[in-house]
Amino acid sequence: AIVSDGRAKINPRTRAVLAAMGCFQDGIAKQKVNEKEVTAHIYEYTTQMTLEIKKGIVQVKKGSTPVQIIFCLKEKNQKKINSHRWFF
C-alpha cells in the first residue's frame, strides 16, 4: 500500500511512476462529489511490470511477477502522522 499526503503536493515524478505502473490515472480525482468534500482517492491495480533505473531514468520493463498495489491519495495535505493513521 502507498499513501500520498495531498493531491496538490504529490511529486510529479512519483505520479508518473504510479501512472506507468497502472495504479494512478491523472484527471479523474475530484475535490467534491455530490457537493461533499472528498477525503481521499483509492486506486487499486495488479501490475505485472518491473521498474528499472538506467542512468538515473526510470523505465518500465515487462515482467511476470504480479504485484497488487493499493494507492491512497489524500485530498488534503494533513502531515505525516495523519498518513501513518491511514496506512496502519
Placement of cell 501490475 in the chain: 47
Count of structural domains within the chain:
1
Q: 3 and 72 in contact (C-beta within 8 Å)?
A: yes
75 Cβ neighbours under 8 A, 6+ residues apart: 6, 7, 29, 31, 37, 38, 39, 40, 41
Q: In this predicted model, what pLDDT tens digit does every residue of 11-60 receive, in sequence order?
A: 999 888 888 888 888 888 888 999 999 989 999 999 777 778 888 887 77
d(CA 69, CA 88): 15
- Residue 43 domain boundaries: 2-87
Q: Higher confidence at residue 63 or residue 69?
A: 69
Q: Residue 66's pLDDT is what?
A: 83
